[in-house]
Amino acid sequence: MTRLTALILALLPLASQAQDTDRGQYLVTIMGCTDCHTPGHFLGQPDMSRFLGGSDVGFEILGLGTFLGPNLTPDPTGLGSWTDAEIVTAIRTGVRPDGSHLAPAMPWMGYAALTDQDAQAIATYLKSLPPVTNDVPGPFGPGEPTGGFVMRVTTP
């Protein structure tokens, strides 16, 4: 094996990871993840220095409580301890590594049909983000004060 061939073979995984990161960024963008997971987004001033670092606005779902979009960065207050497989499972099934369910506002049912490659690309991208320390509070039970701005989700 020539040195050039060995170098190319060594760099292939890096190229694949870069493609996954690019694809993941694209998917996170078109899926609107920043809407619910970036501070300031719902107030019209997204804080891009804390991109996907967790919302500062809660969703109140009558009878269920109030939920804030959690930190999706690789910080320990976010997805730092989650494996790629656990992120993929949560995106597709709405179930966290501890077996608890994601907030009802998380549209995982729409993401259940993601291909393996696309779900993995999202996990790879989220793990590549700069860590943001933000231990998002909640969930809060019905009527429990949140100490912050809350949007109420109602049904007709």
Report pLDDT for 97. 97
Query: Tell me, what's the pLDDT at 99?
Result: 96
- What tokens appear for 114 in the block? 């993601």
Pick the closest to residue 42 from 132, 152, 156, 154 (CA basis): 152
136 pLDDT above the threshold of 60: yes
In Å, how far from its chain's centre is CA 79?
Answer: 8
Average pLDDT, the chain: 89
Q: Is 66 helix (H, G, I), strand (E, B) or coil?
A: strand
User: How far is the C-alpha of 133 from the C-alpha of 83, rounded, in Å?
Assistant: 18
Q: Which residue, among 44, 49, 50, 51, has the nearest Cα to 29 in the 3D structure?
A: 51
Q: Count Cβ atoms below 10 Å from residue 98 Cβ, excluding itself.
A: 6
The domain ranges of the chain are 3-153
Q: 79: how many CB neighbours lie within 10 A of its CB?
A: 24
pLDDT tens digit string along 50-76? 999 999 999 999 889 999 999 999 999
Query: What pLDDT digit, counting tens, does each position of 63-118 carry?
Result: 899 999 999 999 999 999 999 999 999 999 999 999 999 998 899 999 999 999 99
Query: Given pLDDT bands bounded at 50, 70 and 90, which one contains residue 19?
Result: low
Q: Using pLDDT thresholds of 50, 70 and 90, give the confidence band for residue 14.
A: very low
